[in-house]
Chains A and B, each alone.
Chain A
Amino acid sequence: MREITLSQAVNEAIAEEMRRDETVFLMGEDVAEAGTPFKVLSGLVEEFGTGRVIDTPIAEPGFVGLAVGAAMTGGRPVVDLMFGDFLYLVMDQLCNQAAKQHYMSGGKLTVPMVLRTNLGATRRSAAQHSQSLQALVAHIPGLKVAMPSSAYEAKGLMKTAIRDNNPVVIFEDKLMYQDKAPIPEEDYLIPFGEAHIKREGSDITLIGTSSMVQVAEAAADMLSAEGISAEVIDPRTLVPLDEAALVESVKRTSRAIVIDEGHQSYGVTSEIASRLNEKAFYHLDAPVLRMGAMDVPVPFSPALEDITVPTPEGVAENARKLCSGELIHAA
């Protein structure tokens, strides 16, 4: 099978959906000729023209607001939010407007829009261009949240998002744009709410999101060499969440670590760990551990930044402790 990058996969997904459905259009800052700073959208304006690949002013609340209105009246906008950190700028449009229209109207209005943005630290971009804010939007009823962990997921989830009749936020990891994966030539979708077991194991479950799936897999490799069998699961979407698959895995392995690059406190890892405690408590041999980013603004200095995010070594170390019983009575 051919291999393409995550960047190409996203580009292909959007292009295919724009060919399939003429109501789909792209808008955002420098999405047309520039193809975004990460060049993910390069070439689309050449095929679809500036009528459907629309460069906007630097006005995030404004153009996200326009996307909401276009979606409510028959358009299917894919909005590019250049950095996930800019989510704070669009919170009213996303959380008060897009997320609530369907409910507030008693089901009469719909907002079929996709907001694609990114997450991830360790690019030396400091505190306002490095955040992973998925928990912020996953908290809001009415939004869906997808977290592709490879090019394969990026394409399939993007196509599903564009066809979904709800506002969907997709987070891509900035460091993964050049990562390649085998991608079928033919059309495929990845349904929302279906976790994927990346690797089967019997001693511990490592639940990772986005690039933390790679971290979990690298940790599983280390553990395997030591005789510890780790299962790696990727939820793929946070909303809806395939809770059953996660619980089922943990019931089998009786131990779990949840890994996500958002801040650890009040975050994705906390939510998933709580659900495992509620649904798999009597199957657990050890506390469910959370591994998120440190609760600090992301620092610029490489010496500091690299220690703020989960690493394969850190995950493996915690897994060893859980499996040896060392953390059974952890405070």
Chain B
Amino acid sequence: MAKAKTNTEDYLRMYRQMVRIRTFEDNANQLYLSAKMPGLTHMYSGEEGVAVGICEALTDSDRITSTHRGHGHCVAKGANFKQMFCELLGKEEGYCRGKGGSMHIADQSHGNLGANAIVGGSMGIATGSALRAKLQGADDVTVCFFGDGATAQGLLYEVMNMAALWNLPVIYACENNGYSEYTKTEEIAAGSITARAEAFGIEAHTVDGQDVLAVNELTQDLVARARRGEGPFFLELETYRYHGHHVGDINREYYRSKDEEKDWKENRDPIVRFRGWLVEQGIATEDEIEAMNAEIETDATEAVAYAEAARYPDVSEVDMHVHSD
């Protein structure tokens, strides 16, 4: 693994954030399976190294835009479990007062501009955030998360053109998990993904998204350069989606094999790999890691119970927030 940080606390926080995402998703999946959650949700499990590696290179004033598979970005950008589970269950104390749900979840106070349920729908927003930063002389950077499937949307090419023309501080982070919903990426994407950005003169990198330190090291460098006006940049993060397209996508052998899933989980899991590295480097003992995992599990259990007992919004809220004052 790459060596990105020398601060022990940073390593442990990155590990903790990855486990928090996995734990959040496991609990969300249980809520779905036990029919306690309204609607569906899209699991981020397996992609934790991407969200954490990137968001740990950002400050609270840096912005991100997220996707329908957005719980991981939300946790990694600083959200807490209670308000997230409340949002998932449509409760008043959710980050969006229950009006957004899983597909629009965001802790806006930490610079998350929202999960977006239109594939590729936030590419304009992210690039516009970067335009605002440039116009106002601010030094914040915006990261636009999207999947490989979204590279088929025309909007990407319109906004990359403008970002490149105007040297905007935006990083396009393409989470290539190999599948565009229920279809292999190679069946929907001609040519190379990074070449799309390079056609606009945008510097593009491909990185192992299951190696959180490699992701973090590269992102830190690109964020620093984007702050100096050297953006935009494009990242293709090779990763894998452990669950189906959404929690209801159970029988999926018609588009990918169980052997393939098993291989990624057993041999490339970002949490297992990072945990091994932490122990090997003497940063944490197995006991310390197990204690951290248990603490996170307890946090999640408590947050779920809290959210289940929390109030729904009053019906008078239904036409509130249509317009701002």
Contact B106 A57 (CB under 8 A): no
Instruction: Tell me if B155 counts as interface (CB < 8 A to partner A).
Output: yes
Contact A104 B323 (CB under 8 A): no
- Quick one: given A101-B114, A105-B108, are A72 and B98 in contact (CB under 8 Å)? no
B124 touches which of A69, A102, A108 (Cβ 8 Å):
A69
Interface residue count for B (Cβ, 8 Å)?
Answer: 46
Query: What residues of chain B lie closer than 8 Å to A77, measured between beta carbons?
Result: 128
Contact B118 A96 (CB under 8 A): yes
Counting chain A CB atoms within 10 Å of each CB, the highest count among B94, B118, B320, B321 belongs to B321
Instruction: Tell me if B162 counts as interface (CB < 8 A to partner A).
Output: yes
Q: Mark each residue of chain A from 133 to 147: 1 if its CB lies under 8 Å from any CB of chain B, else 0.
A: 000000001101000
Q: Mark each residue of chain A from 24 to 66: 1 if its CB lies under 8 Å from any CB of chain B, else 0.
A: 0100000000000000000000000001100011010111111
Q: Which residue of A lies closest to B320 (CB)?
A: A107
Contact B99 A104 (CB under 8 A): yes
* Complexed CA–CA distance, A126 and B127 (Å): 34
Instruction: Tell me if A224 counts as interface (CB < 8 A to partner B).
Output: no
Query: What residues of chain A lie closer than 8 Å to B136, measured between beta carbons?
Result: 23, 74-75
Instruction: Tell me if A110 counts as interface (CB < 8 A to partner B).
Output: yes
Contact B324 A70 (CB under 8 A): no
Instruction: Tell me if A106 counts as interface (CB < 8 A to partner B).
Output: yes
Instruction: Tell me if A274 counts as interface (CB < 8 A to partner B).
Output: no
Q: Which residue of B lies closest to A240 (CB)?
A: B323
Instruction: Tell me if B96 counts as interface (CB < 8 A to partner A).
Output: yes
Q: Which residues of B from 284 to 324 have beta carbons under 8 Å from A?
A: 320-324
Instruction: Tell me if A166 counts as interface (CB < 8 A to partner B).
Output: yes
Q: Mark each residue of chain B from 205 to 248: 1 if its CB lies under 8 Å from any CB of chain A, else 0.
A: 00000000000000000000000000000000000000000000
Contact A104 B322 (CB under 8 A): no
Contact A73 B100 (CB under 8 A): no
Query: What residues of chain A lie closer than 8 Å to B113, measured between beta carbons?
Result: 69, 72-73, 109
Instruction: Tell me if B197 counts as interface (CB < 8 A to partner A).
Output: no
* Complexed CA–CA distance, A110 and B127 (Å): 17
* Complexed CA–CA distance, A64 and B94 (Å): 29
A106 touches which of B98, B124, B158, B159 (Cβ 8 Å):
B98
* Complexed CA–CA distance, A284 and B321 (Å): 36
- Quick one: given A66-B124, A75-B136, A104-B114, are A57 and B131 in contact (CB under 8 Å)? no
* Complexed CA–CA distance, A141 and B124 (Å): 21
A105 touches which of B104, B155, B325 (Cβ 8 Å):
B104
- Quick one: given A104-B100, A105-B96, A105-B100, are A69 and B324 in contact (CB under 8 Å)? no
* Complexed CA–CA distance, A72 and B125 (Å): 8
B215 smallest CB distance to A (angstroms): 24
Question: How many residue pairs bridge A and B at CB < 8 Å?
Answer: 144
B324 touches which of A59, A62, A110 (Cβ 8 Å):
A110
A100 smallest CB distance to B (angstroms): 8
Q: Which residue of A lies closest to B138 (CB)?
A: A74
Instruction: Tell me if A68 counts as interface (CB < 8 A to partner B).
Output: yes
Contact A61 B114 (CB under 8 A): no
Q: Which residue of A lies closest to B95 (CB)?
A: A106
B323 touches which of A63, A106, A142 (Cβ 8 Å):
A142
* Complexed CA–CA distance, A63 and B124 (Å): 7
* Complexed CA–CA distance, A74 and B137 (Å): 12
Instruction: Tell me if B194 counts as interface (CB < 8 A to partner A).
Output: no
Query: What residues of chain A lie closer than 8 Å to B123, measured between beta carbons?
Result: 65
Q: Give the 9 A-B residue pairs with the shortest CB-CB distance, closest first.
A: A65-B124, A69-B128, A62-B158, A106-B97, A69-B125, A66-B128, A59-B158, A106-B96, A70-B132
Can you report 23 residue pairs joining A to B where beta carbons are below 8 Å apart? A63-B162, A65-B158, A66-B127, A66-B131, A67-B128, A69-B125, A69-B130, A70-B131, A73-B133, A97-B121, A97-B125, A102-B321, A102-B323, A102-B324, A103-B322, A105-B106, A106-B95, A106-B99, A108-B96, A109-B113, A112-B324, A165-B324, A166-B323
Given contacts A96-B121, A103-B322, A108-B109, 18 further A-B contacts (CB under 8 A): A61-B124, A61-B158, A62-B161, A63-B158, A65-B128, A65-B155, A66-B127, A69-B129, A71-B128, A72-B113, A72-B125, A73-B129, A102-B324, A103-B321, A105-B100, A105-B106, A106-B100, A165-B324
Give chain A's interface residues, CB within 8 Å of chain B. 23, 25, 51-52, 56-57, 59, 61-75, 77, 92-93, 96-97, 101-110, 112, 141-142, 144, 165-166
